[in-house]
Amino acid sequence: MERNMNTYNPVTTRHVAAEMATAQREAGRSLTKNELMSELGLTDEQVTAHANEAARLFANSERRAA
């Protein structure tokens, strides 16, 4: 079977840590786990797995903005 590189791929990947950092930056404060889960539709496991990277991204964006 020949593979066509122009086929439509319905799968969209999420950069969960970036979404978390952006939500917190837009809120102007740190969000709780429950707030992140309800606002972004994340699971507890996703928030836990991406918390460190989200914190790093948030801190870097705050330093750039200052």
What distance in Å separates the CA atoms of residue 31 and residue 52, rounded to the nearest whole number?
14
Mean pLDDT of 34-49: 96
Please give the span between the terminal C-alpha atoms of the chain, in angstroms, as a whole number: 54
The domain of 28 spans: 16-65
**Mean pLDDT (the chain, rounded):** 87
Predicted local confidence at residue 4, as pLDDT: 60
Does 32 reside within a domain? yes
Does 8 reside within a domain? no
Predicted local confidence at residue 61, as pLDDT: 83
Number of domains in the chain: 1
66 pLDDT above the threshold of 60: no
Does 36 reside within a domain? yes
What distance in Å separates the CA atoms of residue 55 and residue 37, rounded to the nearest whole number?
16
Token couple for 38: 């309800």
Does 53 reside within a domain? yes
What distance in Å separates the CA atoms of residue 23 and residue 54, rounded to the nearest whole number?
10
> Which is more confidently placed, 6 or 14?
14
